[in-house]
Amino acid sequence: MGNICRSPTAHGVFRHKVAQAGLAEVVRVDSAGTHNYHPGSPPDERSVGHALNRGYDFQDLRARQITDLDFDAHDLILAMDWDNLSLVQNQCPPHHQRKVKRFTEFCLELNAQEVPDPYYGGAQGFEHVLDLIEDASNGLLKHVQSRLSLTTKH
């Protein structure tokens, strides 16, 4: 939504997993919010703190709002919840709708429809968000790796 909690956490976790897989040169990771609430702001310090405890550092990220250029520039546009999915779908040009999905569609182990907003909750909320994001990031990495192997075979 505002690009300071969930989306930068997903950005940082997935970027870390991409680098560990040796794909940092071919996979671009970015994040943006559906609202322009915090332009240029760093991620929420609670998100950063919980992530640092798990070995993820994304303090370099700054909040921004999704733009029309994002739909051309990216292969996937992932939303954290149903409300943000709807907002992104409404902004997305028809020929790019196939790119828009929920992040939790990539979960491998946890059964969740969305990544809940931890902003107004306590520490447990931020930990739960990290659990979901790690799981979905693992599934997303598998998806990306399979897509990359398909493109290198041709």
Query: How confident is the model over 112-133, as pLDDT tens digits?
Result: 999 999 999 899 999 999 999 9
Q: Which amino acid is at 154?
A: H
CB 42 within 8 A of CB 61: yes
- Give the integer Cα–Cα distance in Å for 15 and 100: 19
- Give the integer Cα–Cα distance in Å for 130 and 83: 20
Determine whether 100 is exposed, middle or buried from the number of CB atoms within 10 Å of its CB (0-12, 13-18, 19+). middle
**Domain locations in the chain as residue ranges:** 6-152
Does the pLDDT value for residue 97 go beyond 80?
Answer: yes
Query: How confident is the model over 40-79, as pLDDT tens digits?
Result: 999 999 999 999 999 999 999 999 999 999 999 999 999 9
Phi, psi of 60 (to 5 degrees): -75, -15
Mean pLDDT of the chain: 96
Percent over 70 (pLDDT), the chain = 98
Q: Which fold has domain 6-152?
A: Rossmann fold (3.40.50)
For 132-151, b/e burial (b = at least 16 CB within 10 A) is: bbbbbbbbbbeebeeeeeee
Name the residue with tokens 């520039």: 73
